[in-house]
Structure 1
Amino acid sequence: MTRPIGTPGRASWKEEAVGMVLGFAVLALLPFLFNDAYSRHVLIMVFIYAVVASNWDLSLGYGGVFNFGHLALFGIGVYAYGLLTKLMGLDPWLALVASGILATAAAILVTIPILRLKGIYIILVTFGFAQLVMQVILSQSDYTGGTQGMVRIPGLYWFDHNMVRDGKFAYFFLALGLLAASTVFLRVFVRSRIGAGIVALRDNEEYAIARGISLVRQRMITLAASAFFTGMAGAFYAAYQRNASIDVFGMSLATIILSMVLLGGTSTIYGAIIASFVLTVFAELMADFGAWRPIITALLIIVVMLAYPTGLAGLIRAGWAATAGRLRRTAPAARPAETT
């Protein structure tokens, strides 16, 4: 099968699907290799961060929209799940989906004032939106717990299986399933005609508009598409941790997730997922370094970005290309057919 002109090295749908299935099959084996609950907890957090980071890459990397309110969508998912299950008594599984829908509605709402803005103005508006959501939650302390947060939030269930005392086995596969569903959606989205239109607006806005692509419609679709699984990740986080804290709106978490997007390489989706593994696991390994841990992590990010501006995804592509080239050079040349 020949590749389309202008997309050298781009995997076909079949190749990408096979690679995705193999990748998630390997991840599904991890809880059998790591029997302790703490290691599984770290992996669950990796999956949650990977969902949020890869969806941020959709609006930031592919859409070129620096949506600094993306973590507010995660926080909305966290508190929506807590309020729907604890105060309204909604079934946790329904609340999980409803949280994603509410985050999508919030994304559409914040899109309205930034439809025709550019650059720093988008950052200011979306940052202000995140602060507004946080202040609303703080002001409704009778329902949200204010600065104390919400505790004893109902968790997810699976028939009669005790998901609290199984060594985090069930939550691991639920988190992995959420990441798999999010990744499939994102990859199908960016390879669709809508995804091509979003990239066209990012690369040459004037030319794309002249060709009939609507800036308003595409920007709204981009932010809405990046919000649903982000909100569901927030809901899953609340169900898993059994609490909701105002810290989810803090700059600390935003910095971590943004570092994952940039370190992994924007406009890749897979890069953000890989970086989520690297940074989360690396931070756990550096736990004994105390205050030096964020400094060492920052140095790692700087070194990788200086060596490979396209991030870990670029590093992996370069390594794969070098390996493939070496194999081609060492492969024996085909012998010409003998003539009689």
Structure 2
Amino acid sequence: MNVLRNGKPWLIGVLFIAGLLAPMLIHDTHLRHIFIISCVYAIVAASWDLTLGFAGIFNFAQIAFFGIGIYSTGLIAKLFGVDPWIAIFIGGFAASAAAAIVAVPVVRLQGVYVVLVTLAFSQLVLQLVISQSQITGGTDGLVGVPTISLPGYNFLRDHKLGYCYVAFGLLVVTTICLDWLVRSNFGLSIKAARDSEDYGVSRGIPIARQRLKALIASAFFTGLAGGLFVVYLRVASPEVFDFSTSSLVLSMVLVGGTATIHGPIIAAFLLVFVSESLAGINLAEGRFMLIAVAMVVALVFFPRGLASVFSSSVLGTRK
């Protein structure tokens, strides 16, 4: 497997086994909830790193893709009675379709113009959700979304154990797919274009097409995470589009280390656990200050993120 080719299989195996054992060893329902949310945000952060870190696209529509996955899955499952398992994948494809639309201007722009276009797209999606209140629930949100089920197994009566394994499984699959993408010829081409667009063009790399593919792939996994998020919580709220959500996920990418895939995943678990722990002791406002401080400290002392603390051969740091 490419994900293990240049790394240390034993360490990856230890982390995988730890993820499998954690839900069974943790019996507290709230801690299991934090584990699930960590997995979801880890997927979003790692997917964002594909465009921001590897492709060099200053894409700030990632949370919009997450929200599209949430609302697409919720609406399809609730209004049309589609099986939630299928609805999750439809949410992923809906997010990819949205990425293809926003990519039309983005792949030909650079710098601050990309930021402005993607931020405008995020606000457009938010206003669409709020304005169509008869369908989406508006500011009150979409409630009563059907949840996933398996024959003979009830996800609502196992104290979140089943959700833990579904979330962890999706994270593992996403990580393997993203690892494969960045190590493939496609990954090499987007990194070459990121480092020097003129060099990429001279080597015959179709810059616009490769950036389009990166956006679509990133949005697909983000949409899947959004679909799992809504069938787990059974509620879709426009608050997901808030700047605080974008800041939290962006901090995961920066603190973990851009162009690493694994770095944002590590940071996601650390920041979500710390954030939720502070919220549990009535320090909800202070947690955002702590995240901001963590981002500054990481950028000053670890410019390449937490991933730089570990071996580059294990975490695949930027080259």
Task: Kindly provide the amino acid, as one letter, of the partner of residue 160 in structure 1.
Answer: G
Task: Kindly provide the amino acid, as one letter, of the partner of residue 292 in structure 1.
Answer: G
Q: Which sits farther off after the overlay, 292-301 or 102-111?
A: 292-301
Match of 2:290 in 1: 296
Q: Quick one: structure 1 residues 164 and 219, their matched pair in 2 at CA, closer, same or farther if it must change by over 3 Å?
A: same
**Normalising to structure 2: TM-score of the pair?**
0.93
Distance 1:18 1:100 in 2: 32
Q: Which sits farther off after the overlay, 111-120 or 298-307?
A: 298-307
Match of 1:258 in 2: 250
Shift of 1:14: 6.4
Distance 1:316 1:154 in 2: 41
Residue identity over aligned pairs, in percent, reads 43
Listed one character per residue, the Cα deviations across residues 177-231 of structure 1 (whole Å, up to 9, x for unaligned) are: 1100100000000000000000000001101101100111111011011011100
Shift of 1:119: 0.3
Distance 1:126 1:63 in 2: 15
Residues 1-340 of structure 1 aligned to structure 2 (within 5 Å): 13=5, 15=7, 19-287=11-279, 288=281, 289-317=283-311
The answer to whether the 8 Å contact 2:69/2:222 transfers is yes
Q: Quick one: structure 1 residues 14 and 215, their matched pair in 2 at CA, closer, same or farther if it must change by over 3 Å?
A: closer
Distance 1:16 1:62 in 2: 22
The answer to whether the 8 Å contact 2:24/2:161 transfers is no
Distance 1:220 1:290 in 2: 38
Listed one character per residue, the Cα deviations across residues 273-303 of structure 1 (whole Å, up to 9, x for unaligned) are: 0000111111133333343332233223222
Listed one character per residue, the Cα deviations across residues 231-266 of structure 1 (whole Å, up to 9, x for unaligned) are: 010010000000100011110100000000000000
| Partner SS for 1:65 | coil
The answer to whether the 8 Å contact 2:3/2:179 transfers is no
Task: Kindly provide the amino acid, as one letter, of the partner of residue 82 in structure 1.
Answer: G
Q: Quick one: structure 1 residues 84 and 240, their matched pair in 2 at CA, closer, same or farther if it must change by over 3 Å?
A: same
Match of 2:317 in 1: none
**Structure 1: segments with no counterpart, 5+ residues:** 1-9, 321-340
Task: Kindly provide the amino acid, as one letter, of the partner of residue 228 in structure 1.
Answer: F
Superposed CA RMSD: 1.7
| Partner SS for 2:150 | coil
Listed one character per residue, the Cα deviations across residues 5-56 of structure 1 (whole Å, up to 9, x for unaligned) are: xxxxx98626466543432221111012211111100000000000000000
Distance 1:305 1:78 in 2: 31
Match of 1:324 in 2: none
Q: Quick one: structure 1 residues 155 and 290, their matched pair in 2 at CA, closer, same or farther if it must change by over 3 Å?
A: closer
